[in-house]
Amino acid sequence: MEIALAPNDSDPYTRAFLTATFAELEAEIKLENVREGIAAARDQGKLHGRPPFGFDVGAEGYLTPNDDFEKAVVALDEVDKGTSKRSLARSPGIARSTVRKIADNRERYIAE
């Protein structure tokens, strides 16, 4: 079976096929551009997405410590001393999953 497409054809199937094909191509190009932009921003150290506990995103896209940063550092110190994440999560009002994320990303909090 051979499909002959002519851009000036008045056949509605031809027009629909061409329109759908170019719309799909345009969507793929836009998606690729967005992914490349996100990757370039990450390569520069900028954050894409929700900031971690204890940080805000500054005007230029970089992490800056906020008021909860000290809570995160204290929680990390307590975890290092052997305090369980469950009991630690109850005292300062930080969720246990947040305490785990702080412990898993300790270099982010120690570097400051």
Phi-psi region of 81 (alpha: psi -120 to 50; beta: other; left: phi over 0): alpha
pLDDT surpasses 70 at 21: yes
pLDDT at residue 9 in the model:
65
44-87 pLDDT per residue, tens: 878 777 888 888 888 887 888 888 888 888 888 888 888 888 88
Per-residue model confidence as pLDDT tens digits over 89-110 = 777 678 888 888 888 888 888 8
CA distances in angstroms from 22 to 29, 34, 47, 63, listed in the order given: 10, 18, 33, 39
* Angle of helix 69-81 versus helix 96-104 axis, rounded to 10: 80
CA–CA separation, 110 vs 67, rounded Å?
A: 16
Q: Which amino acid is at 60?
A: E
